[in-house]
A = this chain, B = another copy of it.
Amino acid sequence: MIRVLIADDHPVVRQGLRTFLDLHDDITVVGEAGDGAQAVELVAELAPDVLLLDLKMPVLDGLGALERLSGGPTRVVVLTSVSDPADVGPAMRAGAAGFLYKDVDPPALVQAVRAVHGGQVLLAPEAAEAMLATAADVAAPAPVPLTEREREVLALIAAGRSNREIARSLAVAEKTVKTHVSNVLMKLGVQDRTQAALYAVRHGLA
């Protein structure tokens, strides 16, 4: 039996969810909370398996409640009406095990409760997309572009040349080469010429 707590500021929504969920043999709604603070209290008191949590609530909002509950044994499914993609990341980071929108198909909600109770993480497609969107920026964190000269220097570093040798190759002062090397290291976010050389090889710049 999965013990569920419902937190939502609208009594009608709570009643609807309770009625629907209680129809299922393996689910029982053990309580309702009208705001985040109450939700936190009731989780402590009732230790439900799953908390269905609205994000927009008075006193303490869903995210705040989520943070206070993280680490506990209760699995939290965020169930929100507004679909702001920016909500998804913080909620998941705060320990949510599910993120659904209220327009969810009711049977799907039941499956979600079961899946989350079973330890999985479940997202509405829009929520998954929102997470990917933020993660996408990560993949390409604007790799600071190297200038022409810096690429030349990097190539020579990757060829194992010393600063003095590079200076001779490029017909500039060794000091200038050092400056370029410094800039390359900074731009690549790397600590020394060895790592820069590896970067060059790995990215086919050598």
B-binding residues in A (CB < 8 A): 89, 92-93, 97, 100, 105, 107-108, 111-112, 114-115, 118-125, 127-128, 131-132, 134-139, 141-142, 144, 186, 189
Q: A121-B128, A138-B135 are in contact. Are A111 and B114 (CB under 8 A)?
A: yes
Shortest Cβ distance from residue A20 to the other chain B in the assembled complex, whole angstroms: 15
Number of this chain's copies in the assembly equals: 2
Contacts of A189 in B (CB 8 A): 142, 144
Given the complex of chains A and B, what is the CA–CA distance between A136 and B119 in angstroms? 22
Contacts of A114 in B (CB 8 A): 111
Q: Are A120 and B118 in contact (CB under 8 A)?
A: no
Q: Is the CB of B123 within 8 A of A120?
A: yes
